[in-house]
Amino acid sequence: MHLNVNTFNIRIKPFLYLYFLIFGFYLEGGSQKIYGFMDRYFVAIDLETQTCDSLIEFTKRPFINLEFFAAIDRYNGRYFFCGGLPEHSGNFHIIDLQTLEIQSANIYTGEMEYDPFDDNLYYIKAGYFYSLSVTTMKQIKYSKIFNTNGRIFGHVRCYLPQQNEFHFLTPDGYIAVIDCKSGNVICKINSNQENAFNPNTYTDKIYSVKLGSVYESSDCYHSRKLLTRIPDYKGIVNAQMATYNHSNETYIVPYWASNNDYKYALINTKKEILEKTIKQFCAPAIMDLQMIYDKPEALVRIVGDTIFVNKGKRYHWYLNDQLICTTSNNYIIPNQNGKYKAKVEFKEYNAFSREIIVDSIIPHAFEYSITPTLANEQIKLKFNNCEYETIYIYNLKGQVIFEQSFTQNLSDYQLTLDVAFMPKGVYIVSVIHGNKPNVKKFIKM
């Protein structure tokens, strides 16, 4: 099957996502709410209204130093933090940005990036690449990335979710591009010592700052151009303290100005201009571990002949703008040519993915299974795609005992049918797909 993805220009190779930062940001809707720590408080600031809200007050200042890191799930509103929180045991914490509830665990991570497809965190610790399942809290240790003991305050890194690549600036002075599925280094690129790597996760373009100059890189850093300059730039606040707002295509860089003010530079990457700078408006001047919650549109990742979208609660799949099924699966295996997209239900909002054009497909044979084949109350039909036309159940006399037309609400590509009312005996199940019957048997006990 050939997937034409020119409609949104993703690279089809291992897959990737690039996001937050050790000291990064994240937005909420169009209001640019940035979450992080100030003194004894977990706060949210709004760059548009220039307001600062204290969300959680602790009895003393959270323990944050060189060894503590943060990340964000910008789709479901979860803030991940590795560090010490007063009144909370363990050093890994998840803050729900809607309820402000905190879950804690005794896990130590490194500079983290969040994968919205597999609900994983990726990080480097003691030179090794790791993944952490947020669902199970299970860590997996992969290959060693570098051998030196040196470190940079807020290691420069990013993650490309559609490509599933973790990019990390090592103390040895090169960028390691890591395939997150295998944990292996795909390639090494000599670094120009840019800071604050942030991607547009739809286009895989990466933005960075070097001495006040803002650059755009693509094609694994082989293509690079100067976008603009920050005129009063004196220095970066932290090597990875910046973010990208997808709602208005703005790269946001905190920096020290030449007059020693702490500011934010807002760069419009579409127009390639510095739109404005904003002086920090709340005290103390420095916010630690900043993350932006911007509720972006759903992402797409292609693995072999399967289309994935990032994780939410439910998924509505469309073919040529017609709803074909609603499932709890975040993937679909296309069985015919056309334009595919999904609407994903997240905790606070719904979002469409961009379209994938499938234009030269070899259809998969329709398959399904029945369990159990010796049934008392129910049988479960599991399909290899989310479409069929009609289901019939016949007795051995050829009489139709049950009939059901296609339903769009297939959970996990499966359907549970009640057979308790049927007399004991052998029954024939016929599922019509493409005007062809697909026949199997079960026995009612």
The lowest-confidence range among 54-58, 61-65, 256-260 is: 61-65
Q: Is the pLDDT of residue 1 over 60?
A: no
Mean pLDDT of 316-341: 88
Q: Contact 75/295 with Cβ under 8 angstroms?
A: yes
Mean pLDDT of 249-270: 92
Which token pair is 73?
């799930």
Q: Is the pLDDT of residue 195 over 50?
A: yes
Mean pLDDT of 119-134: 93
What's this model's pTM, rounded to 2 decimal places?
A: 0.78
- In angstroms, the first-to-last Cα distance of the chain is 43
Rounded CA separation 177/169 (Å): 9
Q: Is the pLDDT of residue 13 over 60?
A: no
What pLDDT was estimated at residue 193? 66
Which of 223-232, 328-337, 351-360, 396-405 tops mean pLDDT? 223-232
